[in-house]
Amino acid sequence: MAILRYFCLYFTRDNKFQGTSALFSEPIKQPLKNPPGFSDEQITQALLGSLKQREEIFTYLYQSSGWREWVVRHVCREGGDEPAGEDVFQETLILFDRNIREGRFLKGSSLQTYFLGIAKQYWFNRQRKIRPLSMPLEYDPPDTLNPEHLTLQQEWQQMINHILQQIGEHCKKVLELYKLSLSNEEIAREMGLSSPEMAKKYTYRCREKFRAFVLGRKDILEHLDLRLKDAP
């Protein structure tokens, strides 16, 4: 385990040696930078943009930002290994993307600080699920960690997976594009449809199909009712 951690700390994904100075340095405090040519504003715009823009920015964030290396080092330092670090980076990127799209980032800090904050919190929560840790004083344990909630979450996830299997690939893509707030024109282009009007029609149909599918499933409706009762 110690050897694994050593390698995890001093080698990147590409197995390039990082230098012995890293052995005594505090990796977390190493300066980070946005990808060359990408400001916070540009990253935000790309995440809110087309599929192509999003893919480009994810590639830059993965390969050139230094954020991934930071997350891997943090996870290794806090008892994980490199694959766990990679996984935390991935899940952080998903949460980060969603928060940006849903306007939850209030611009109180730089994007990198925000990203790394999510990563730290994510790893802390995940560690807590694996084995109990002593909590830092400032940590306010979320209600989402109680066993009942976790069971419900798992059921909810299973239900989502089940729905995904049933609604068909085309509708899945339509729902995804719609949720990304792409215009009808962009959806038409992505789906290979003849016009934005067709895309609008197709989106409406898929959403109605989704709705009809759910309404036809007693078990899913029961779960929804359960959520309704739990709602504040």
Q: Could you give the C-alpha distances from 34 to 60, 208, 214, in angstroms and in order?
A: 9, 41, 42
- Least CB distance to other proteins at residue 27 (A): 21
The span of 18-26, 36-44, 129-137, 156-164 binding other proteins (CB under 8 A) equals: 156-164
Do the beta carbons of residue 80 and residue 88 sit within 8 Å? Answer: yes
Q: For other proteins, which residue of 176, 185, 219, 222 counts as binding (CB under 8 A)?
A: 176
Closer of 25 and 55 to other proteins (Cβ) = 55
Contact mark string toward other proteins, 20..59, x via CB under 8 A:
-----------------------------------x--xx
Nearest to 92 by CA among 116, 108, 72: 116
Residue 228: count of CB within 10 angstroms of its CB:
8
Give the C-alpha separation, 33 to 61, whole Å. Answer: 10
Distance of CA 19 to the CA centre of its chain: 31
Q: Tokens for 221, please give them.
A: 């409706």
C-alpha torsion sign, points 61, 65, 70, 73: positive
- Please report whether residue 124 would count as binding other proteins according to CB under 8 A: no
Interaction site with other proteins (CB under 8 A): 13, 55, 58-59, 62-63, 86, 90, 93-94, 97-98, 102-103, 156, 159-161, 163-165, 167-173, 175-176, 178-180, 192-195, 198, 201-202, 204-207, 209-211, 214-215, 220-221, 224-225, 227-228, 231
